[in-house]
């Protein structure tokens, strides 16, 4: 269980590979983990041994926790995808069975949507789909899973007590000695400031609009009496993910693999799920074979990826040319293009198409997309006051065709949202807003919007950016 390191956006991510075989199982931890300490925890070693029975077991610590770079600031869930991909590349894994625990479950889902060709199947244990206590209810400020203000204040005022209270929710039947050991483990895994950031990244989180896009074989496992994340979350995940299997165990442990009363059932359920995966799902296909099979699903050399699409547009560009003249307008447009491209590079976006008086852009992270949009508005407002920019943002599955522009409903909706904008306005869909939860963006709800050519409504939000 040697600890190794890889770089992700300049941040050192600690990981470990155990076992051998054709299959690779990537275990995505919850809010915190520590590879250096877990080798001394018998229950963790037993769990790792079980995962190794199927092939290689890959574990890692998220940035700012465990053996990974502690100086790095924790990321939102949609941003953490880059770290997961960095670990996959570092371990030379062609395809992964991704197993996520707790907050690792939604990250596993997001990774499968961003890199569908790299994922074999999903195992979601004690997962959460939004920060509401009841995922079947509309997400509001009054039904959040945690009392965020009180929880953040408790971290600041008495971190040890906060850890103890949190641990009691995770393991309601634990002895005082075991609770104290878990508190020490939490304290040795991340700093109070990191825990505060981790919790802030979950505020407003809502994965529910994305679940219908999950296409991989999935098993959802949840304890019936989980005190931290209600069993309703597991039931919702299984209900909304197409074809998902669901296993509900008689346990109140949040880390259910540490409950000896149901450990056998947990292992048996996962073993049956993995052994029953179709042969083509076992990671034995080459990248070339997989790409060929994918091309039979969509005509030509198309493939599908998850992306946040951004459309920008200069308001009344024709009138602007008339107002300032051809030469001055050309200068303004060139400066506008440079600002867009400079910010795009800064926030790791991709230019898909120059539309003349605007751009079509793509981002792997909704958070980066919104930050980039705010930076564009701020810079253009400051440097080019004559130019009024409108920006529409949406996240979803995009069909990519080699040598051509991407297409699909996600692209159409992003374009229609941009058309709906007024000058100096940024509008985002509810999906993009949910994925960017915890980034401290301020949103104002605009209401439902039925894009032309789309047979369903999209809830819109305006991003409040400071000039």
- Tell me, which fold does domain 303-464 have in CATH? Alpha-Beta Plaits (3.30.70)
Place of tokens 């641990």: 167
Does 285 have pLDDT greater than 50? no
Total Cβ atoms within 10 A of residue 377: 23
H-helix or E-strand containing 154?
A: helix 148-157
Please, which residues have CB within 8 angstroms of residue 38's CB and are 6 or more apart in sequence?
44, 45, 48, 59
Return the closest-CA partner of residue 427 out of 460, 384, 380. 460
pLDDT of residue 28: 97
Does 329 have pLDDT greater than 90? no
Q: How far apart are CA 33 and CA 185, in angstroms?
A: 9
Positive or negative: CA dihedral 241, 243, 249, 253 = negative
Rounded average pLDDT over 213-232: 95
pLDDT of residue 442: 86
Q: Are strands 96-101 and 119-125 parallel, antiparallel or unpaired?
A: parallel
Please, which residues have CB within 8 angstroms of residue 28's CB and are 6 or more apart in sequence?
60, 84, 98, 99, 100, 101, 104, 105, 107, 108, 111
Tokens describing residue 133: 């206590």
pLDDT of residue 297: 41
Return the closest-CA partner of residue 337 out of 376, 381, 279, 286. 376
pLDDT of residue 281: 44
**What pLDDT, in 10s, does the model give residues 159-200?**
999 999 999 999 999 999 999 999 999 999 999 999 998 888
- Tell me, which fold does domain 3-295 have in CATH? Rossmann fold (3.40.50)
Rounded average pLDDT over 424-448: 84
Conformational region of residue 401, where left means phi above 0, alpha means psi within -120 to 50, and beta covers everything else: beta
Q: How far apart are CA 204 and CA 182, in angstroms?
A: 27
Does 127 have pLDDT greater than 70? yes
Please answer whether residues 405 and 415 qualify as being in contact, where contact means their C-beta atoms are separated by less than 8 angstroms.
no
Three-state DSSP at 123 gives strand
Flag the least confident range among 284-288, 307-311, 383-387: 284-288
In this prediction, residue 409 has a pLDDT band, given cuts at 50, 70 and 90, of: confident
pLDDT of residue 283: 42
pLDDT of residue 314: 86
Positive or negative: CA dihedral 424, 412, 366, 462 = positive
Please answer whether residues 8 and 68 qualify as being in contact, where contact means their C-beta atoms are separated by less than 8 angstroms.
no
Please answer whether residues 359 and 351 qualify as being in contact, where contact means their C-beta atoms are separated by less than 8 angstroms.
yes
Rounded average pLDDT over 284-310: 50
**What pLDDT, in 10s, does the model give residues 37-62?**
998 999 999 999 999 999 999 999 99
In this prediction, residue 263 has a pLDDT band, given cuts at 50, 70 and 90, of: very high
pLDDT of residue 358: 86
pTM for the predicted model, two decimal places: 0.75
In this prediction, residue 147 has a pLDDT band, given cuts at 50, 70 and 90, of: confident
Q: How far apart are CA 412 and CA 41, in angstroms?
A: 51
**What pLDDT, in 10s, does the model give residues 340-374?**
899 988 888 888 888 778 899 988 888 889 999 99
**Domain boundaries along the sequence of the chain:** 3-295, 303-464
Please answer whether residues 350 and 360 qualify as being in contact, where contact means their C-beta atoms are separated by less than 8 angstroms.
no
Please answer whether residues 335 and 383 qualify as being in contact, where contact means their C-beta atoms are separated by less than 8 angstroms.
yes
Mean pLDDT, the chain, rounded, equals 87
Query: Is pLDDT larger for residue 210 or for residue 91?
Result: 91
């Amino acid at each position: 269980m040697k600890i190794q390191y890889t770089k992700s956006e300049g941040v050192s991510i600690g990981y470990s590979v155990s076992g051998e075989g054709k299959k690779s199982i990537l275990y995505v931890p919850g809010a915190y983990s520590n590879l250096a300490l877990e080798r001394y925890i018998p229950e963790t070693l037993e769990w790792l041994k079980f995962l190794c029975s199927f092939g290689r077991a890959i574990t890692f610590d998220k940035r700012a926790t465990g053996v990974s770079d502690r100086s790095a600031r924790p990321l939102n869930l949609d941003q953490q995808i880059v770290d997961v991909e960095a670990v996959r590349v570092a371990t030379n894994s062609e395809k992964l069975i991704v197993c996520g625990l707790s907050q690792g479950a939604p990250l596993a889902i997001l990774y499968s949507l961003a890199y569908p060709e790299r994922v074999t199947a999903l195992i979601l244990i004690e997962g959460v789909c939004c920060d509401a206590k009841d995922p079947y209810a509309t997400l509001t400020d009054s039904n959040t899973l945690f009392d965020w203000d009180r929880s953040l204040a408790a971290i600041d005022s008495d971190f040890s007590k906060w850890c103890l209270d949190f641990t009691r929710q995770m393991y309601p039947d634990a002895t005082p000695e075991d609770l104290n050991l878990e508190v020490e483990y939490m304290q040795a895994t991340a700093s109070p400031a990191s825990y505060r950031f981790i919790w802030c990244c979950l505020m407003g989180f809502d994965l529910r609009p994305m679940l219908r896009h999950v296409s991989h074989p999935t098993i959802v496992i949840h304890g019936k009496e989980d005190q931290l994340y209600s069993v309703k979350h597991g039931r919702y995940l299984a209900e909304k993910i197409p074809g998902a299997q669901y296993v509900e165990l008689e346990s109140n442990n949040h880390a259910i693999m540490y409950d000896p009363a149901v450990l056998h059932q947990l292992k048996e359920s996962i073993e049956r799920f993995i052994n029953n995966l179709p042969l083509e799902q076992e990671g034995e296909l080459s990248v070339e074979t997989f790409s060929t099979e994918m091309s039979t699903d969509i005509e030509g050399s198309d493939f599908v990826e998850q992306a946040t699409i951004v459309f920008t547009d200069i308001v009344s560009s024709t009138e602007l040319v008339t107002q300032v003249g051809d030469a001055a307008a050309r200068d303004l447009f060139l400066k506008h293009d440079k600002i867009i491209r400079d910010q795009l590079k800064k926030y790791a976006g991709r230019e898909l198409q120059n539309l003349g008086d605007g751009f079509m852009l793509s981002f792997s992270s909704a958070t980066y997309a919104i930050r980039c949009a705010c930076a564009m508005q701020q810079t253009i407002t400051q440097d080019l006051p004559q130019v009024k920019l409108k920006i529409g943002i949406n996240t979803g599955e995009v069909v990519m065709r080699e040598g051509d522009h991407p297409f699909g409903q996600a692209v159409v909706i992003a374009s229609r949202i941009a058309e709906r904008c007024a000058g100096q306005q940024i509008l985002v869909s509810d999906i993009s807003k949910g994925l960017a939860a915890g980034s401290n963006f301020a949103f104002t709800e605009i209401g439902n919007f039925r894009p032309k050519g789309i047979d369903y409504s999209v809830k819109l939000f305006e991003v409040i950016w400071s000039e």
